């Protein structure tokens, strides 16, 4: 049977369940571990305290495939939520969990990532202590190339069009945007920016430093690297992966990001959205992220998959310990009286 939703602004069903995650108040703990896959959520649920005899951990898989597991970790109520991939999915996870828990909440993301530059190396735990930037592909860059090809004089300041879509120069105000361009040299049409790079958004400093301590206690301090994260809107183009099948204009992207941010260590797809929403949550969300370095972008090495599970367990243990330790402000008297 299909649930009936009310309130197009923030849809919930008759039982108060959210539209994408399918959970309601009482089913999610204020301390949340967000992981990229259902398999990782299931694996890390083995770290939870065993349920009382004859009971099971709360588990709900939504119609959209988001799995929520709620139990206790060393006595503290926690939820593990599979988030899938990309910033829109992190948006669902943050907003819909925020809506079903009273009081302040803490969210730690445990993901996988590419290691951008040394000292980050394969298998390390990279903590976004310096926050995150976002890297987004700007489709207008290619639209402008197309428009330029069809109406060269309409878009160029000097009336000279481009014959190959990549050689025009002197572009007019239509292309003046405040974002950054990392494509340099003769193939970069002047003033055109294929990738927009945001300003950094910070991690919760207290939560990040507890997470670093716990990660170092699990894997040793030499395997934990703190720095800036970048979340991209693609695994491929906006992470600087190149190939001949698409014109991505990204040859200089990775080098440009590293040069512009010497503390950049990790490149993945969700942390920025988590930190941005926490920053906008009127103080109601404490958040940070940590990733297992799965790929070394500077050497082109990729972690052996057989080694990943142990690293996920190590990172998950550290993240759950940090979540347990982080102080949270409980629900206000107002919230409690609303609930009554």
Does 295 sit near ligand URA (CB under 6 A)? yes
Does 235 sit near ligand R1P (CB under 6 A)? yes
Does 19 sit near ligand R1P (CB under 6 A)? no
Count of residues near ligand URA by CB under 6 A: 10
Rg of the chain in Å (alpha carbons): 22
CB 308 to ligand URA: min, Å: 11
Choosing among ligand R1P, ligand URA, none, which partner's interface includes residue 270 (Cβ < 5 to 8 Å by kind)? ligand R1P
Q: Bridge partners of 110? A: 35, 290
CB 235 to ligand R1P: min, Å: 5
Helix axes 271-279 and 87-99, enclosed angle (nearest 10): 40
HEC string for 230-260: EEECCCCHHHCCCCCCCCCCCCCHHHHHHHH
The residue among 113 and 127 lying less far from ligand URA, judged by its C-beta, is: 113
Does 112 sit near ligand R1P (CB under 6 A)? yes
Token pair 């008759």: residue: 14
Tokens of 105: 């909440």
Does 23 sit near ligand R1P (CB under 6 A)? no
Choosing among ligand R1P, ligand URA, none, which partner's interface includes residue 315 (Cβ < 5 to 8 Å by kind)? none
Q: Which of the stretches 52-60, 212-220, 249-257, 268-276 binds ligand R1P when contact is defined by CB under 6 A?
A: 268-276
Strands (DSSP E) contained in the chain are: 5-6, 12-13, 31-35, 58-61, 67-73, 76-82, 105-115, 125-127, 132-137, 195-197, 224-226, 228-232, 264-268, 285-296, 301-302
Binding ligand URA (rule: CB under 6 A), the pick from 19, 142, 235, 236 is 235
Where on the chain is the footprint of ligand R1P (CB under 6 A)?
A: 36-37, 85, 111-112, 235, 268-270
């Amino acid at each position: 049977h299909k649930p009936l939703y009310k309130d197009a602004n923030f849809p919930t069903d008759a039982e108060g369940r959210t539209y994408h995650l399918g959970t309601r108040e009482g089913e999610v703990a204020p301390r949340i571990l967000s992981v990229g896959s259902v398999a990782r959520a299931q694996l890390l649920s083995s770290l939870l305290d065993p349920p009382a005899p004859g009971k099971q951990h709360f588990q709900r898989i939504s119609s959209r495939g988001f799995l929520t597991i709620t139990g206790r970790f060393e006595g503290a109520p926690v939820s593990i939520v599979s988030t899938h991939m990309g910033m829109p999915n992190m948006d669902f996870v943050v907003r819909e969990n925020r809506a079903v828990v009273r009081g302040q909440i803490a969210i730690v993301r445990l993901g996988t990532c590419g290691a951008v530059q040394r000292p980050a190396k394969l298998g390390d735990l990279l903590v976004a202590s310096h926050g995150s930037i976002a890297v987004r592909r700007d489709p207008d860059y290619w639209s402008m190339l197309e428009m330029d090809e069809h109406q060269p004089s309409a878009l160029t300041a000097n009336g000279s069009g481009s014959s190959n879509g990549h050689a025009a120069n002197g572009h007019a105000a239509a292309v003046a945007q405040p974002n950054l361009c990392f494509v340099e040299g003769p193939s970069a049409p002047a003033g055109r920016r294929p990738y927009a790079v945001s300003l950094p958004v910070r991690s919760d400093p207290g939560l990040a430093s507890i997470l670093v301590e716990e990660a170092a206690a699990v894997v040793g301090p030499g395997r934990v690297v703190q720095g800036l994260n970048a979340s991209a809107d693609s695994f491929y183009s906006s992470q600087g992966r190149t190939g001949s099948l698409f014109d991505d204009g990204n040859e200089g992207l990775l080098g440009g990001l590293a040069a512009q941010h010497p503390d950049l260590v990790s490149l993945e797809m969700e942390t920025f959205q988590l930190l941005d929403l926490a920053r906008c949550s009127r103080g109601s969300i404490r958040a940070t992220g940590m990733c297992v370095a799965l790929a070394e972008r500077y050497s082109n090495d990729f972690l052996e998959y057989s080694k990943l599970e142990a690293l996920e367990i190590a990172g998950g243990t550290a993240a759950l310990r940090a979540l347990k330790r982080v102080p949270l402000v409980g629900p206000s008297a107002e919230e409690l009286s609303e609930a009554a």
